[in-house]
Amino acid sequence: MKIILSHDIDHIHWKEHYFNDLYLPGVIYRNTKGLLKKNLNFKNYTKRTNCTGRMHRIPELIRLYDQNKIKASFFFGMNRALHLSYKYQKTRPLIQDLIQNNHKVGVHGIAYKDAKYIEIEYNRFKEISGLDFFGIRTHYLRLSGYSHHLFDEQGYLFDSSFDNIMHPFKVNNMWEIPISIMDASLVENSQLNQDLNIWKENTLKRLKKAKEINLSYIVINFHDIYFSDKFPIIKEWFLWLVELLQSKDYEFITFEQAVSELNKKEKG
């Protein structure tokens, strides 16, 4: 088993949500409920509901990966929808910074049904990143019955929008490399679930299942905004997971490396 670490960049700054979408009221509502139900203490509540400044945690993750000699993949929105509200032009310095640090970048896809919009997102990303080959993961993992065919026709190298322990498969020229472990679906009510043991137990169950089917690639999807003191449990879980995987001597690779291995294997 090899490990692929990945991050969906859903937010850049709080201000992109001001008078623009209903993300802020949702944050206040969800965390107030959490406070009343005692899922959150007051200190954590005030941190989470301070809706100012930067949201993305890319510099912090780059630092973590530098310390551990790991390369990861980061997916950026090239259009807006469903609380992803930043302008795609704002991603340019972040994408360039990651490329300079030898990390991988891809599209956090908004369009999944309409070839015309899929092409717009692809071309925007190609221009900003300067890359010719890259992959996609859709926002909220949205897919239709023919999304994979549209992504393949557009020229994407891979998609990683399935959340299931299953083997990679090919759709014409494009590989689907499913997600094995994702923060948002690992435990119930993930943002308010403060039981680190449940996070760990469920992770070990997934890893066991992956081993049982002899899965080649464990894809982890961790939303970068959780790498923050606002989410101490989710952050601690992720640090624990990276350390656990390193202690077992698993190799950390990128989607691009996996695609090249899969293509080689296919040719026999």
Q: In whole angstroms, how close is the CB of 263 to Zn ion at the nearest point? A: 28
The 3-state secondary structure of 13-52 reads: EHHHHCCCCCHHHHHHHHHHHHHHCCCCCHHHHHHHCCCC
CA-CA distance, 14 to 55, in Å (whole number)?
A: 6
Q: Which stretch binds Zn ion (CB under 5 A): 61-69, 132-140, 197-205, 254-262?
A: 132-140
Nearest approach, Cβ of residue 77 and Zn ion (Å): 7
| Least distance (Å) between residue 141 CB and Zn ion | 8
User: Is 139 or 148 the residue whose CB approaches Zn ion more closely?
Assistant: 139
Which residue in 7, 8, 107, 125 binds Zn ion (CB under 5 A)?
8
Residue 159 is a binding residue for Zn ion (CB under 5 A): no
Q: Would you say 24 or 184 has its CB closer to Zn ion?
A: 184
Site string for Zn ion, 86-125 (x = CB under 5 A): ----------------------------------------
Is there a contact between 167 and 150 (Cβ–Cβ < 8 Å)? Answer: no
Interface residue with Zn ion, options 124, 139, 148, 206 (CB under 5 A): 139
Q: Pick between residue 10 and residue 224 the one whose CB is nearest to Zn ion.
A: 10
- Give the β-pairing of 217-221 and 104-109: unpaired
Binding site for Zn ion (CB under 5 A): 8, 10, 139
